[in-house]
Structure 1
């Protein structure tokens, strides 16, 4: 298989012309985001049955010819644990490459377990052990060493083989269509867009606040996000979660009072007037507009028993289908199902077909569960 390093526009154009004839592309990226808000794309790896290419976006300012190939709806993109990689391309274009096949998700339907890493999947499916020597490397440093290049190429070298084996196995099991909704959800741009008004929910410890404190937190989290985006710096570099919480809890009315909060830093001092103004904005918000946290409702003993029963059915159906139970539903989802609080993933797509509809029928009394020679059975009334 031919290996290519693409680090100038002429090579990129030549590669893109070659990729025009391909309909299935293995794809991976290397990136950094420790010091930035947006991930810094450092390398793009592409594989076809004939070549492996590493595109260097640090050396090539404009990779739009490749993006045109990537966003071609006639080309299937094969990836492993694709979400973070897709987020990078979404941030670049506000769109997500599609269609997609994610080998990590497919592995869950083939009995390989949940959230299996690429190296472990390759070893289990192909018997090939991949090196992990550059897992924590600095991909923005140039020039890249040969070991780094080999590591990066290995991330796509076996993807198409894994994809072919998985698609054949899914076809034999009659599960070829089961994952289409999962893949479509990953390529929905809305997945990578967040409501600025709801950013307070991402603040660790937000559930310890209440009432007007949450309104203040909402204003502070909104401002912090704007600052992080504008400066392309991590949120925590603007204002740490613990400081956001303490400001919202104490609601200081003056810059002097603000700087009395333990752990305050230079950035907080520099923006003290703005932060105090944000506190006042939050306090002035009408009560009807205050955000609220989800109230935890403890299950009754009867509901706990129902969850235990449903969990037993999930485990049984998972064993029969050779998938891990958590792929179908975890206990928290079953608690929601029993309480009727919100739609659960187990009631959508292939999960509903495999077990979700059955669980709902059990709750509604249309089916009942019994033991037969130590085996859990579900009987239709």
Structure 2
């Protein structure tokens, strides 16, 4: 198999160069894509490089060229133009926040590997070696992708990341089709793409803080407002959440509901810098909730009860058995993140949750439908 050759890659430095490179591709030709970025001291990822591979050619795209390219945006948003990525969630998030696009028509080859029987979340280098017999090594994932010029090792890594996408796609799709999961892969990739293309609402972040489920509704309302304020503040300052104020201090604020700077500073381990920089804003958020009208609130989910855990284990056992019979990872059919709330909802409503009845999962679980339904009708 032909090896990656950075010397043959096109280095695209301007929007016009990128537009011209994309215009030269045959219509509807699949495009392999990847991106390199930094996100250490910022809230949003800082793009360092975009890699494209199509029609036997490879392009390394400078961020300034991608930012000004209308052709790239049209490519990303075209649901009919196939795009092949690997572990695409962070790439789609980058394109969403940086270029303001909702990516459509993307196929995640890491998902394809799972449907092909290679396991869940297998790494790119490992899959290239197992499928194509090429050892890529550890790569340059921790390199400084904002530096210029890029090193020879970085250039090789950048090209290799997209060079093997097409042969991987061809081999994986043969395996996926032979196993009868072609439609399931397309559906799941589309779902993942849609999920990552829409940013979470700042007002919903508090639901991630599951350790705060014991707070009373009024205190959870304070926590919701504080979390939403921080989300907006992080975007304004372009700083990570922990650099503005850590989750644990937001929970302590919601517990204590301080109404003065003195009370704010008295909270256990509260950093003095947070009090100095953000104290007035935090107190204003708290006051607005305490003094304002009561609003509807989705409560932070409590841990499963003993009875719910028993039902969850029964459902998980059936799913694991069916996943094994299909040669699929259990996490692909239903990860804990989605299965737990689905089981809770199903028990409350007395019916099989939609997660297990719709789309490719519904078809895959059809042979165990009666057993699963029984878990929710006891």
Classify the TM-score, shorter chain.
0.7 to 0.9
Q: Given that residues 140 and 154 in structure 2 are in contact (C-alpha distance below 8 angstroms), is that contact kept between their aligned partners in structure 1?
A: yes
Which residue matches 2:189?
183
Which residue matches 2:5?
none
Deviation, structure 1 residue 150: 0.6
Gapped runs of 5+ residues in structure 1?
Answer: 367-381
Which of 356, 359, 363 is equivalent to 1:353? 363
Which residue matches 1:278?
285
Residue 293 (str. 1) matches residue 296 (str. 2): no
Which residue matches 2:142?
136
Distance 1:191 1:67 in 2: 13
Secondary structure of 1:137's aligned partner: coil
Evaluate the alpha carbon distance shift between residue 58 and residue 337 of structure 1 in structure 2; reply closer, same or farther with a 3 A threshold.
Answer: same
Which structure has more helix as a fraction of its residues? 2
Q: Given that residues 311 and 334 in structure 1 are in contact (C-alpha distance below 8 angstroms), is that contact kept between their aligned partners in structure 2?
A: no
Q: Deviations over 1:190-216 (max 9, x none)?
A: 752222321222346332422322111
Which of 235, 245, 251 is equivalent to 1:245? 251
Distance 1:346 1:98 in 2: 25
Deviation, structure 1 residue 148: 0.3
Q: Given that residues 104 and 116 in structure 1 are in contact (C-alpha distance below 8 angstroms), is that contact kept between their aligned partners in structure 2?
A: yes
Q: Given that residues 319 and 330 in structure 2 are in contact (C-alpha distance below 8 angstroms), is that contact kept between their aligned partners in structure 1?
A: yes
Evaluate the alpha carbon distance shift between residue 235 and residue 48 of structure 1 in structure 2; reply closer, same or farther with a 3 A threshold.
Answer: same
Q: Given that residues 215 and 285 in structure 1 are in contact (C-alpha distance below 8 angstroms), is that contact kept between their aligned partners in structure 2?
A: no
Q: Deviations over 1:159-213 (max 9, x none)?
A: 1111111122222222221122212212326752222321222346332422322
Residue 321 (str. 1) matches residue 326 (str. 2): yes
**TM-score between both structures, scaled by the size of structure 2:** 0.86
Q: Deviations over 1:228-276 (max 9, x none)?
A: 1112221222111122112111111111221222232324313322221
Q: Given that residues 100 and 187 in structure 1 are in contact (C-alpha distance below 8 angstroms), is that contact kept between their aligned partners in structure 2?
A: yes
Secondary structure of 1:78's aligned partner: strand
Q: Deviations over 1:343-366 (max 9, x none)?
A: 3533332222112x3444114459
Q: Deviations over 1:65-86 (max 9, x none)?
A: 3323333333200011111111
Q: Number of paired residues?
A: 363
Evaluate the alpha carbon distance shift between residue 61 and residue 106 of structure 1 in structure 2; reply closer, same or farther with a 3 A threshold.
Answer: closer
Q: Given that residues 96 and 189 in structure 1 are in contact (C-alpha distance below 8 angstroms), is that contact kept between their aligned partners in structure 2?
A: no
Which residue matches 1:66?
72
Which residue matches 1:31?
37
Distance 2:160 2:65 in 1: 21
Q: Given that residues 228 and 234 in structure 1 are in contact (C-alpha distance below 8 angstroms), is that contact kept between their aligned partners in structure 2?
A: yes
Distance 1:300 1:245 in 2: 28
Which residue matches 1:369?
none
Secondary structure of 1:233's aligned partner: coil
Which residue matches 1:362?
371
Deviation, structure 1 residue 309: 4.8
Deviation, structure 1 residue 9: 4.0
Secondary structure of 2:251's aligned partner: helix
Distance 1:179 1:16 in 2: 27
1:170-249 alignment runs, 5 A limit: 170-188=176-194, 192-203=198-209, 205-249=211-255
Gapped runs of 5+ residues in structure 2?
Answer: 3-7
Evaluate the alpha carbon distance shift between residue 365 and residue 210 of structure 1 in structure 2; reply closer, same or farther with a 3 A threshold.
Answer: closer
Secondary structure of 2:306's aligned partner: coil
Distance 1:87 1:126 in 2: 29
Q: RMSD of aligned C-alpha atoms?
A: 2.7
Evaluate the alpha carbon distance shift between residue 365 and residue 265 of structure 1 in structure 2; reply closer, same or farther with a 3 A threshold.
Answer: closer
Deviation, structure 1 residue 308: 4.8
